[in-house]
Structure 1
């Protein structure tokens, strides 16, 4: 690591410095603190990438649902993968952030958290047909300390009436913005699910997805431009996904009787290209 090499060079160059001086001690403490921050940030970046990779695998797995006979089996497998992800990489992220400034390290793992939100919301939409809330996601990200893990200063609990301490817990918080950005990505997966459903001969699901996406788009528009550039890009992407689903529903209604269902999916990308959605700007 570059900062470690630089630290070794500084130690060699400053070997003649009087370490007992208060100013030197103060800057040595600053050096140790910065080195710890750099190392922690790098670890969180790696964990965030692991979360992104595993979340994408969960999404790809959910897209493999073709028949109702396969649905329960694939949902069970996806749920198992989500639980494993919660207790592995996401738990490690929560451990790294204990006692630290959350927003100081947020950018290191924020993309992974957004991908995780996308995977979890996609799973629950397929399973239950509705959008899971941020509070429900947080409930799955509360962890109990293991005996080998050090207890944080804020995690110490008061003794119970039986004289025993309840197990200390810690959690991983997801910001409302990361939750909303993850939902913005979810709309792209729902659009793909719509096209896949048409290819499989399911001509009813696109209309349900269209209604759901319209409600989401209307909700996103209420934020305006106050949420920042990232949110604006997500709203534009959501609009594009909604237009594709609306075009699919239009084609099914108008030309569904004259075109075989397995050919309808190919028409959506050729007859209605994305650039023909000027109102998404």
Structure 2
């Protein structure tokens, strides 16, 4: 017997062994009625339900972010239109639409732990806080409180399921749903507000409004003082945005300084260009790209 023929036998034995193992596995059926399998099916259902809810909340958050940004862009028109109240009324209608989407979030979170899904919708809520606080500042020249924001996030939901014998009207009063903006989301939204106020300050000067920059400057100083008390003891995102807040305050103060000291030397139609160039110089000095 040759050497090649001697090597063929063990190889054939290994092949036969693998084939028998595959046949054994194919003939063995998994018992789906065991308690362990049933428990894992329940876990699978719970995880799928949670992931689906998370994705729905992410989509709602994106819609809220988009509509809130559109409201902010609309509000920036107050520096260039004769009828400010018309712009504010239109913005209020848009904010009502955003609140309806927040109502859908509150419906999704009914009976759930808010902090399990907080990361899914926090960007949209922060953008909403920025938009509603910007609207409030333009009208009142003050900062809207967290309680005032939450007071408008109360929604009425019709009762489900139960009906009368004639199958016409549901039984029971409508259900009240509420959504509570967290203090962290409120602070992050207010921190983003400072950038919009800085842009409004520059735009108002370009349109001949000399009073707004000084009002915005005083307002930003108060916000900066409040955030300084938090410092590094608050949430990481809040302390990170404190640097951006200081940049916005520096640009507004620089604009006020230029108006006070050199306002009479610069024509009004050139003030906005001067402020924009000086703001760019401040960014370069602070290492901002």
With normalisation by structure 2, the TM-score equals 0.82
Select the structure of larger CA radius of gyration: 2
Aligned partners of 2:91 and 2:245: how far apart in 1? 25
Counterpart of 1:216 in structure 2 is 223
- Is 1:243 aligned with 2:250? yes
Assess, with a 3 A threshold, how the Cα gap between structure 1 residues 150 and 120 changes in structure 2: closer, same or farther. Answer: farther
Structure 1 position 271 matched with structure 2 position 284: no
SS in 1 for 2:256: helix
Corresponding residue for residue 153 of structure 2: 141
CA–CA distance in 1 between the matches of 2:102 and 2:161?
18
SS at match of 1:201: coil
| Alignment gaps of 5+ in structure 2 | 1-25, 163-170
Match of 1:9 in 2: none
Report if the CA contact (8 A) 1:240-1:277 is conserved: no
Counterpart residue number, 2:110? 98
Structure 1: runs of 5 or more not aligned: 1-12, 152-163
1:191 and 2:191 aligned: no
Q: Secondary structure at the match of 1:224?
A: helix
Alpha-carbon deviation of 1:233?
A: 1.9
Q: 2:34 aligns with which of 3, 17, 21?
A: 21
Aligned to 1:63: 76
SS of the residue 1:98 aligns to: coil
TM-score when normalising by structure 1: 0.85
Normalized per residue, which structure has more helix? Answer: 2
**C-alpha contact (below 8 Å) 1:195/1:265 kept by paired residues:** yes
Q: 1:28 to 1:69 in 2, by over 3 A?
A: same
- Check conservation: 1:243, 1:277, Cα contact below 8 A: no
State the 1:165 CA deviation: 5.6
Identify the match of residue 119 of structure 2 among 107, 115, 122: 107
In 2, Cα distance between equivalents of 1:40 and 1:178: 21
Distance 1:46 1:176 in 2: 23
Taking only aligned residues, the RMSD between alpha carbons, in angstroms, comes to 2.1
